[in-house]
Structure 1
């Protein structure tokens, strides 16, 4: 979990440091975004490789190597002299970091008996949720207190601790030699990388007005189509499609995709709203985001004990309803309000996240054979990350478009027949004197309405996911694992 927190934290901690990095590295606004894009694309491509490498060299060796690689890459990012070096080191960091989460999740499932699976997934979920929530705050504090290089160098002591603990405690696993399906991996890499590039660059290129975005779309669809056909027809496919026969696993993939959309889009929306519209400084914004993390931690402590006693599907439904209600509260935000609604809605949303994430992780892998565990957790991480990318791109696009639409609608309704407007103009010394102030107020209100439109969209997506929960099966009647499966899982 130390390794997981280090990797997940790094997905968001660098975001707030981008303006400082841009000035230091002499990059343009478009160029500096490659610091984020390179990491995301490299991580997406490397995630499906985890299962094959784990079988080929052993889970212990791979996890230790990934920790070393991620830590060294973090050091190199912290001392990078130009943008080219930074992007190269971020690619290495993304490749190594992609393997940490699925390996850690598979290991925690293997070393815990089924009755303690809920508690172990609660610990795992706490790490997954902790990083994105604390990342922007920690990154802002490190950047302001020291400089942008500190957001990478902070990984060094954490990486060393993770390596020492894993080296001392990590059990060995069985090594299974299997051929590498270069063609299958190549097609999947093309599909995933193209999709990530489409999501990351779409808004900046005005989406399908750009030939580049059409190219990404065609490559993504073509790569995925060829990959699926190849996996069904090849004698040695890159991913064994048999694991997709498990209904719980497939349903879990759909639900974690939706959760990725709603969870990370909210984390992407709140900081700019709090800072740009409400005028909160970076540190105070971090404190206002804190209750979401507190709610998540509290719920995971509780739900880890409830998973074994109650039907996990009921817990997922309860968490989804809480998240939906918190998003409804966020649709009532205004530019001038106290911090109480922000804190309460964040606390409820975090509480709901824990009730969704922990039982969903338990149910998704409850009925799947242990021999697919690393590949399955890799696919689970990949789908969650794709959902995250889709969610952020979706809310960013809606925010930009609705801001323009809302401004036009406000301007249409602003007439001189309005008594308050006449009073405002008179107090300001005439229409010419207050025109700039009026435009600024309308821009602010249009932006706030656009944020509310996004919150409403996320609320609808959340509630629409509820029927999918009923496709999950309870694992209570599943036969215990065979001796062969237990030996494969534990490496004994």
Structure 2
């Protein structure tokens, strides 16, 4: 029987290399929008007159909108032809981003961020389908995950580079306008080369599972609130935290109960019966907890070394080069049949080397040049971990559960990210208070060390023309600033040390735990 011809998704005159380039260009902006101003939270908070926790909450709202809508998008997208569906999504996202650059009320921005995440999902899902369609069958999964997770990893340093470059000269609205200038041309090119074909079978309206979307979004929003404001509200001492916790528990419980009893569940919970998949989800959460040190190192660069925009862009460029290098190398090893467990061990070992290296380099007067290689190593490490980890997690699932597994993996990635922020918000004030108490106990006013330091600072300021009283106040201010710098430095050292111990323990588990060895899949043993 003659096989059906594949759908002509793209115009016949477009070369293959151009199709792949346009697909990647169009896929990157939705990822970039997630952490668009994550590296410039202080500037955004100052512009809107809010706290840094509010800025963090707005980032998590985007993530919650994307994750909650991810299983819903294939059903909704079946009602339109692919090009028309993407056209609607691009117009909506451009409008939402434009509004974000126009509004000054931060509460309205929070609503826009959640809607941006929801609409961004309607662009990401069809583009991933198109990317997989351009790859050979035997290479599709490995190369597709490399493109997807490579773009996801690259979006963080790219977003930091963009925000620092723009906000160094312009106000916050210019950042959203710059995003549109980068994103719209790629979207227009994609719409130009696409054919007007339908890629999905239209599903009945009765199969649109709106209640599950509401329950999942409620759970994710409650968790985002706890991670952002829990420490500021003293956790369960405030009614707001109790309400957020209740919404998370009730929403999550109702969502799980509904999935077990639905004939066509929003996310098929049968994926959790597979041991390899569950182990992979745990590794995903651990990996994104370890990735939380990226924000810690950024705090060190800004709070201790006081880098400028040009210097921060250079550091992020080193990380970006490492990500591209790591993803490119590891996908070749996957295609050659290297066991995934071995690649995971190498990746986490490189990540451990990065953390130990950074721990040894942290200091109050360190040169920036010495951090380029450790940041390059970090990029290589995360690229070396994430692609094999995705293949390991999804490799043991049957084809009919692949979509549900992808949705669950993205949701657990969100949990790892939120958990990392929550742990950071707890440990930072705890270690800061402990360090300040230690300094105050050792350096009481009137001791010879403090008196000598104050006298040197006071004489220096008086030598620059200040009177005695002003010199005393200035010396006290400088000493307090030095104390804050040392406290931040000790916090960075403690956190990197803790993560280094965690990665070491994980490496031991990867090396000695038998189930990981039994369940490891390779490219040659099983078609990907």
TM-score under structure 2 normalisation? 0.80
Contact residue 58 and residue 175 of structure 1 kept, 8 A: no
Mark the CA change 1:336 to 1:443 in structure 2 (over 3 Å): closer, same or farther: same
Aligned residue among 287, 293, 297 for 1:266: 293
Map Cα deviations across residues 291-344 of structure 1 (whole Å, 9 max, x no partner): 121111111121121112211221111011110121122222111222244222
**Residue of structure 1 equivalent to 2:142:** 118
What is the match of residue 398 of structure 1?
427
**Counterpart for residue 112 of structure 2:** 89
Deviates more, 1:369-378 or 1:119-128: 369-378
Structure 1 CA distance for aligned equivalents of residues 82 and 288 of structure 2: 26
- What are the residue-to-residue correspondences of 1:168-183 with 2, within 5 Å? 168-169=193-194, 172-175=198-201, 177=203, 179-183=207-211
1:439 aligns with 2:480: yes
Offset at 1:108? 3.3
Distance 1:103-1:245 versus aligned 2 partners, 3 A rule: farther
CA distance in 1, matches of 2:281, 2:80: 27
Report how far residue 147 of structure 1 moved.
Answer: 3.1
- Tell me whether 357-366 or 447-456 shows the greater mean CA deviation: 357-366
**1:402 Cα deviation (Å)?**
0.6
State the alpha-carbon separation in 1 of the partners of residues 274 and 31 from structure 2.
28
Shift of the alpha carbon at 1:356? 0.5
**Gap regions ≥5 residues in structure 2:** 1-23, 460-470
Rate the CA distance shift 1:4–1:380 in 2: closer, same or farther, 3 A.
Answer: farther
Cross-structure match for 2:324: 297
2:449 matches 1:449: no
Match of 1:233 among 249, 261, 276: 261
Alpha carbons of structure 1 residues 421 and 126: separation in structure 2 relative to 1, 3 Å? same
Quick check: 1:68 aligned with 2:91?
A: yes
Contact kept? 2:326, 2:384, Cα under 8 Å: yes
- Other-structure match for 1:53: 76
Match of 1:281 among 298, 301, 308: 308
Following the alignment from structure 2 to structure 1, what is the Cα–Cα distance between the partners of residues 227 and 74?
Answer: 26
2:388 corresponding residue in structure 1: 359
Partner of 2:505: 464
- Residues 315, 371 of structure 2: 8 Å contact kept: yes
Q: Is 1:346 paired with 2:375?
A: yes
Q: CA deviation at 1:258?
A: 1.9
Q: Does 1:368 align with 2:368?
A: no
1:353 CA displacement: 0.7
- Give, in angstroms, the shift of residue 416 of structure 1: 8.5
Tell me, in whole angstroms, the C-alpha distance in 2 between the residues paired with 1:192 and 1:215.
13
Partner of 2:241: 213
| Stretches of structure 1 lacking an aligned partner (at least 5 in a row) | 482-492
Contact 2:39 2:159 in 1 (8 A): no
Question: Which TM-score applies when normalising by structure 1?
Answer: 0.85
Query: What is the rounded CA distance, in whole Å, between the counterparts of 1:12 and 1:338 in structure 2?
Result: 27
The SS at the match of 1:307 is helix
**What are the Cα deviations for residues 365-411 of structure 1, in whole angstroms up to 9, with x where unaligned?**
33434444444333322222232222123223312221111111122
Match of 2:154 among 130, 139, 143: 130
Change (3 A) 1:57 1:255: farther
Query: Aligned to 2:70, what secondary structure does the other structure show?
Result: helix
The answer to which of 467-476 and 193-202 deviates more is: 467-476
Specify the structure having the higher radius of gyration (Cα). Answer: 2
Kept in 2, the 8 Å contact 1:3–1:67? The answer is: no
Q: Find the residue that maps to 1:149 and give its secondary structure.
A: helix
Paired residues of 1:243 and 1:372 also in contact (CA < 8 A)? yes
User: Residues of 2 paired with 1:22 and 1:70: CA distance?
Assistant: 23
**Helix, strand or coil for the counterpart of 1:226?**
helix
- Assess, with a 3 A threshold, how the Cα gap between structure 1 residues 324 and 73 changes in structure 2: closer, same or farther: same
8 Å Cα contact 1:141-1:283 kept in structure 2: yes
Compare 420-429 and 179-188 and name the one that shifted more: 420-429
Between 353-362 and 377-386, the greater mean CA deviation after superposition:
377-386
Q: Tell me, what secondary structure is at the counterpart of 1:440?
A: helix
Choose from 335, 356, 381 the match for 2:364.
335
The answer on whether the counterparts of 1:69 and 1:96 sit within 8 Å (CA) in structure 2 is yes
Change (3 A) 1:21 1:395: closer
Distance 1:88 1:191, change over 3 A: closer
Equivalent residue for 1:382, pick from 382, 386, 411: 411
When residues 357 and 241 of structure 1 are mapped into structure 2, their CA distance, relative to the original with a 3 A threshold, is: same
* Number of residue-to-residue matches in the alignment: 479
CA 223–280 in structure 1, closer or farther in 2 if over 3 Å, else same: same
RMSD: 3.3
Distance 1:190 1:128, change over 3 A: same
**Quick one: structure 1 residues 41 and 128, their matched pair in 2 at CA, closer, same or farther if it must change by over 3 Å?**
closer
